[in-house]
Structure 1
Amino acid sequence: MIRVRTGSEPRTARSALRVRFWLSMWGLVWAVFGTVAFALAGRPGWATACGVLLLVVGVDMALILRHIHQGPHYQPGPDVPPYRPPETRRR
């Protein structure tokens, strides 16, 4: 099947939310590890940087989970057909 680019991909793009979830989980684990390790090593600047990263990853994970729980309209599965390209007006 040949896919035709419509030029509207950023508006109609669908994200692999489950992959993003697991990548966020990986980042969350490393951010926690970095925060604890740098705090124990007496490096408050690096511990703070990892703590800020931990907050960013946590917010991202919360948004990803929200989109996953919104259902197939926001997280299409293999049984959901692709979006139709937007109609273009002729001048």
Structure 2
Amino acid sequence: MRTGSEPSTARSPLRMRLWLSLWGMIWAVFGLTAFVLTGRAGWAAACGVLLVVTVTDFCFVVRHIRQGSHYQPGRDVPPYEPDRGERGGLGR
């Protein structure tokens, strides 16, 4: 919901998440191989789970980046009134 107090130069953190997930994937692969080679199955499983999480995050981030930017109202559009629940919703 738009409140009107957003900065005009606000940017999406998707590129930062992309690089952080790449960094996490590199370390998870390194840890997975190191722990498999040393025979520590518990730590290798933990690194494997971390690898799955970082690959999933990477895929979501790439998907959102490829979707492109979405419509954002300009400065001439006033902020929306907050929903006060007066009109009856799904819970009534």
Q: TM-score, normalised by structure 2?
A: 0.68
SS in 2 for 1:88: coil
Structure 1: distance between partners of 2:4 and 2:43: 42
Q: Which residue of 2 aligns with 1:88?
A: 81
Q: Which residue of 1 aligns with 2:89?
A: none
| 1:24-79 superposed Cα distances (whole Å, 9 cap, x missing partner) | 000000000000000001101100000000000000000000000001118x9xxx
1:67 aligns to 2:44 (yes or no): no
Structure 2: distance between partners of 1:61 and 1:85: 35
Runs of 4 or more, structure 1, over 6 Å off, are none
Residues 1-91 of structure 1 aligned to structure 2 (within 5 Å): 6=3, 15-73=12-70, 86-88=79-81
Q: Which has the larger radius of gyration?
A: 2
What RMSD, in angstroms, separates the aligned Cα atoms of the two structures?
3.5
Gaps of 5+ in 1: 1-5
Q: TM-score, normalised by structure 1?
A: 0.69
Aligned length: 78
Gaps of 5+ in 2: 87-92
